[in-house]
C-alpha cells in the first residue's frame, strides 16, 4: 500500500472565528445545554466585570420570545473608537478577534473573570446573529451574522453586516446591550433553562454586594398533559406555561446574605455569620504581581458536614484550589489558637485537625485577582500557588481581629466547642475506619446473595445498576450483559444519611452492601481510583417511591462519595414512561414530548401503555429501553452548582419541613433526573451532564 503524501499544502488554515465553529467544545466544553448557557455567561461575565470594578450597578438579562437572549449593563460601554493596530472599532475587535480585550492587564480591570479573552467573540461565532448597542452620549450599533458559504465551502462566523455605526441619536443611558440568537446548527438544544439562569444570576448578586441583576422571561413554553376525553380515551393537550414574573436580585449584605440563604434549612449555632475582607499585595519570586482581594463569611450549624463554596473573580471553583487550602489552614490555625487560649483545648489535648473545624461549617470564600491561572478552559480550579499563603494569612488575621468585637466572644466559643465535640467524636469513633475497611473490596461475604457481579475486571467498561426491589432486580439480571453489567437490587429503602452520622450510615445493611460493591472505601477513606465501576447507575421507578430512592442515594453519594460524582461516574437510568403501539409497530417514549412524537409516527389507531414500574417490563423490553448503551437514556449527574444542590438536599432530606411540600408539588416530575437535579437535556448514552 503506497504511503499518502503529506506536505504543507495539506494543512488547513481556519480563518477568523471559523476555528470556534469547527471545534466548539474546545471553547465552551460541549454543544449541549451546558455549552448553550456558557455563551450566555460569557456576555453576563463581561457585564459583571464592569460592576465588580465599580463601573456599573445594574445588569438586565432577558430571555426573548424568539429564543434569543440579551444582556444589558449600565457600565462604561464598550470602546467605540478605532484600534490603531487592528484598524477597526473596539466593538468589532471584541466580537471578532479571539484573545482580544481589555482584561490582560490591570489598567482597565483590576479583577476580571474573562481572562481568556475569547468570551464575546465565541458567543458571536456560535450565534446565527448578534446585535450590539453601545451607549456613550449617542447610540452606537453593530450587527453580526453567521452563515455557510456554499461557494467557498466554509462557515462565515460572526461576520459584521457593516462597520460600527454612530446613529447620532442622543441618549442619557450608558453601558452596553448585547442580544444574540444561539445557532441551532451548533447546539443540540437552544431552549434556555430558566431555573439554571435564575440560580446563577442570584449567586452573582450575592457575590457582588449592592449590584442589582434583573431577569425577565418573555417566552411562552408548552407542555403536554394527559386528559380524559368525553369518550374515556386518554388524549394529550398542550398547556401553556404561565409567564414568569420578572425578578430582581440585590443583596446589600453580600456574602453574609449568601451564607444566611445557604443555612435557611439548617440550624445555625450563632445568629449572624462572621464576615471579613482584605486586600493584599501579591509577590511572585519577590516581584510585585498586583493585588488580591479576599472576602469570606462563615457560620457553623448543627449539621456534621462542611458546605464551602469558593469563587475566583465570580467564577465558581467547584474543584477548589490553592485558595480553599489557604482558607482551611487559616481557619484551623485560628481555632486551635483560640481554643488553647480560652481553655477549650487543655494542655494534654492534641490540636484539632482539618476535619474537626470543617464539621457543620457553612462558608463562602471569594477571591478577586489578576493574572489568574485556572486549570482548564472550564475554570473550575485555582492554580495560583501564591493565593494559598495570602488567603491563610487573611483568614487567621481576620478572625483574630473580630474576637474583640462586642458579642463575638460567644460566637467564637461556640466555634471552638463545635470543633472540640467533633475531635472527641472522631477519637471515640475510630471504629468507623474499621467498619469502612470491612465494607471495602475485601468484604466479599457481604455481597453473597445480593450482588450479581459482572465477570469483567476493567472498571472503565463495567457498570453497576442499583435497582429498586427484587422483582425489578430479577428482570434486570436476565436482561444484562454479564461481561460488564452488575446488578444490585435494593431490599427496601436505604438510610437517609442527611439525618445520620457516618457511623450510623455504615451500620445500615443496604449502604454497607453498596459500599462493598463499589469497593473504593467510604467518607474520608474513599478513593475514586479504586472504584470497580466507572458507571454507577441508579435505576428506579418513575413514581414517588422511585423519586425518594433517587434522592436518598444521591444524598449518600453527595455526602460520602462526592469524588465519585465529581468524576462523572454517577448516572440516572431513565426508563420509558410510555409505549405507543399498533400491530407490529411500537415506539417507547421517555417524556411527554417524545410521546407526542411517537403518536405522530405510529398514526391513527394507536394504543398507549403507561409504565408504572420496571417490574412491568420483560427482560427484552428492559434491555432495549433502559440497559442497552445503543438505545437507552442515561443521564450523568454533576454538582457544578454545589451550593444549590446542597441547599435543596438539606431541604428535602433534612429535619426541617418548611417549604418541602411546595417544592415537591412544583418539581416532582417523577421521570425527571431527580426532584432537585434539573433535567435540562438528554440524549442516548453520550454522557450529557446534568446539574
Catalytic residue annotation: 468, 541, 543, 545
Q: Given the DSSP bridges, would you call strands 315-316 and 307-312 parallel, antiparallel or unpaired?
A: antiparallel
- What is the distance of C-alpha 185 from the center of its chain? 25
Q: Determine the Cα–Cα distance for residues 123 and 503; give it in Å rounded to an integer.
A: 49
Q: Determine the Cα–Cα distance for residues 369 and 106; give it in Å rounded to an integer.
A: 9
- H helices within 298-407, ranges in order? 322-341, 354-358, 386-402
Give the sign of the dihedral formed by CA 514, CA 520, CA 521, CA 526: negative
Give the sign of the dihedral formed by CA 121, CA 127, CA 129, CA 132: negative
| Sheet architecture: strand order including 315-316 | 274-284, 287-300, 361-369, 307-312, 315-316
Q: Are 76 and 175 in contact (CB under 8 A)?
A: yes
What does the CA dihedral 363, 367, 373, 374 come to, rounded to 10 degrees? 40
List Cα–Cα distances, 64 to 69, 190, 216, 245, 691, in angstroms.
6, 12, 8, 13, 23
φ/ψ of 43, rounded to 5, equals: -75, -40
Q: Determine the Cα–Cα distance for residues 380 and 642; give it in Å rounded to an integer.
A: 12
List Cα–Cα distances, 606 to 168, 575, 589, 591, in angstroms.
62, 21, 14, 17
- Kindly report each contact of residues 86-92 with a partner whose C-beta sits within 8 Å and lies 24 or more positions away, as own/partner: 88/163, 89/142, 89/163, 89/164, 91/132, 91/134, 91/140, 91/142, 91/164, 92/142, 92/160, 92/163, 92/164
- H helices within 9-137, ranges in order? 18-22, 25-28, 33-52, 90-96, 119-125
Amino acid at each position: 500500500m503506497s504511503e499518502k503524501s503529506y506536505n504543507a499544502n495539506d494543512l488547513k488554515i481556519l480563518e477568523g472565528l471559523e476555528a470556534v465553529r469547527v471545534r466548539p467544545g474546545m471553547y465552551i466544553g460541549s454543544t449541549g445545554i451546558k455549552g448553550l448557557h456558557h455563551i450566555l455567561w460569557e456576555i453576563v461575565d463581561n457585564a459583571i466585570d464592569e460592576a465588580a470594578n465599580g463601573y456599573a450597578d445594574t445588569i438586565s438579562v432577558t430571555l426573548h420570545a424568539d429564543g434569543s437572549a440579551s444582556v444589558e449593563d449600565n457600565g462604561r460601554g464598550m470602546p467605540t473608537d478605532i484600534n490603531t493596530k487592528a484598524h477597526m472599532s473596539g466593538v468589532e475587535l471584541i466580537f471578532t478577534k479571539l484573545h482580544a480585550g481589555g482584561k490582560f492587564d490591570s489598567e482597565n480591570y483590576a479583577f476580571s473573570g474573562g481572562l481568556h479573552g475569547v468570551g464575546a467573540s465565541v458567543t458571536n461565532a456560535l450565534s446565527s446573529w448578534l446585535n450590539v448597542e453601545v451607549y456613550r452620549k449617542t447610540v452606537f450599533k453593530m450587527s453580526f451574522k453567521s452563515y455557510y458559504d456554499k461557494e467557498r465551502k466554509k462557515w462565515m462566523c460572526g461576520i459584521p453586516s457593516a462597520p460600527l455605526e454612530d446613529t447620532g441619536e442622543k441618549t442619557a443611558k450608558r453601558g452596553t446591550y448585547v442580544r444574540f440568537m444561539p445557532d441551532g446548527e451548533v447546539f443540540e438544544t437552544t431552549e434556555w433553562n430558566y431555573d439554571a439562569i435564575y440560580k446563577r444570576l442570584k449567586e452573582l448578586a450575592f457575590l457582588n454586594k449592592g449590584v442589582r441583576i434583573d431577569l425577565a422571561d418573555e417566552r411562552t413554553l408548552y407542555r403536554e398533559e394527559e386528559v380524559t376525553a368525553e369518550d374515556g380515551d386518554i388524549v394529550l393537550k398542550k398547556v401553556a406555561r404561565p409567564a414568569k414574573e420578572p425578578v430582581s436580585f440585590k443583596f446589600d449584605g453580600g456574602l453574609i446574605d449568601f451564607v444566611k440563604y445557604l443555612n435557611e434549612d439548617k440550624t445555625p449555632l450563632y445568629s449572624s455569620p462572621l464576615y471579613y475582607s482584605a486586600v493584599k499585595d501579591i509577590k511572585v519570586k519577590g516581584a510585585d504581581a498586583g493585588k488580591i482581594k479576599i472576602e469570606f463569611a462563615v457560620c457553623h450549624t448543627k449539621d456534621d458536614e462542611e458546605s464551602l463554596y469558593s469563587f475566583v473573580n465570580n467564577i465558581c471553583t467547584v474543584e477548589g484550589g490553592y485558595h480553599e487550602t489557604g482558607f482551611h489552614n487559616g481557619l484551623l490555625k485560628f481555632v486551635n489558637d483560640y481554643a488553647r487560649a480560652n481553655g477549650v483545648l487543655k494542655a494534654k489535648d492534641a490540636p484539632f485537625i482539618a476535619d474537626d473545624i470543617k464539621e457543620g461549617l457553612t462558608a463562602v470564600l471569594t477571591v478577586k485577582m489578576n493574572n489568574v491561572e485556572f486549570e482548564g478552559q472550564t475554570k473550575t480550579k485555582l492554580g495560583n500557588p501564591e493565593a494559598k499563603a495570602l488567603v491563610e494569612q487573611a483568614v487567621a488575621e481576620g478572625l483574630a481581629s473580630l474576637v474583640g468585637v462586642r458579642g463575638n466572644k460567644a460566637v467564637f466559643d461556640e466555634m471552638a466547642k463545635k470543633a472540640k465535640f467533633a475531635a472527641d467524636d472522631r477519637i471515640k469513633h475510630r471504629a468507623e475506619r474499621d467498619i469502612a475497611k470491612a465494607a471495602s473490596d475485601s468484604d466479599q461475604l457481604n455481597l453473597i446473595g445480593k450482588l450479581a457481579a459482572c465477570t469483567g475486571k476493567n472498571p472503565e467498561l463495567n457498570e453497576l445498576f442499583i435497582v429498586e426491589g427484587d422483582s425489578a432486580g430479577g428482570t434486570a439480571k436476565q436482561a444484562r450483559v454479564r461481561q460488564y453489567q452488575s446488578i444490585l437490587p435494593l431490599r427496601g429503602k436505604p438510610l437517609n444519611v442527611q439525618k445520620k452520622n457516618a457511623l450510623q450510615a455504615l451500620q445500615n445493611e443496604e449502604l454497607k452492601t453498596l459500599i462493598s460493591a463499589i469497593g473504593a472505601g467510604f467518607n474520608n477513606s474513599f478513593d475514586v481510583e479504586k472504584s470497580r465501576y466507572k458507571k454507577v447507575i441508579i435505576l428506579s421507578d418513575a413514581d414517588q417511591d422511585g423519586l425518594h430512592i433517587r434522592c436518598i442515594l444521591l444524598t449518600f453519594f453527595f455526602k460520602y462519595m462526592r469524588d465519585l460524582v465529581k468524576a462523572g461516574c454517577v448516572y440516572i437510568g431513565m426508563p420509558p414512561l410510555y409505549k405507543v403501539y399498533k400491530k407490529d409497530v411500537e415506539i417507547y417514549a421517555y417524556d411527554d414530548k417524545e410521546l407526542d412524537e411517537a403518536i405522530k409516527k405510529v398514526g391513527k389507531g394507536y394504543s398507549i401503555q403507561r409504565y408504572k414500574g420496571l417490574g412491568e417490563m420483560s427482560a427484552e423490553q428492559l434491555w432495549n429501553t433502559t440497559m442497552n448503551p445503543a438505545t437507552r437514556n442515561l443521564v450523568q449527574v454533576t454538582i457544578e452548582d454545589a451550593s444549590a444542590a446542597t441547599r435543596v438536599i438539606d431541604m428535602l432530606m433534612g429535619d426541617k419541613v418548611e417549604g418541602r411540600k411546595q417544592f415537591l408539588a412544583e418539581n416532582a416530575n417523577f421521570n425527571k433526573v431527580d426532584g432537585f437535579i434539573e433535567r435540562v437535556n438528554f440524549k442516548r448514552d453520550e454522557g450529557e451532564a446534568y446539574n
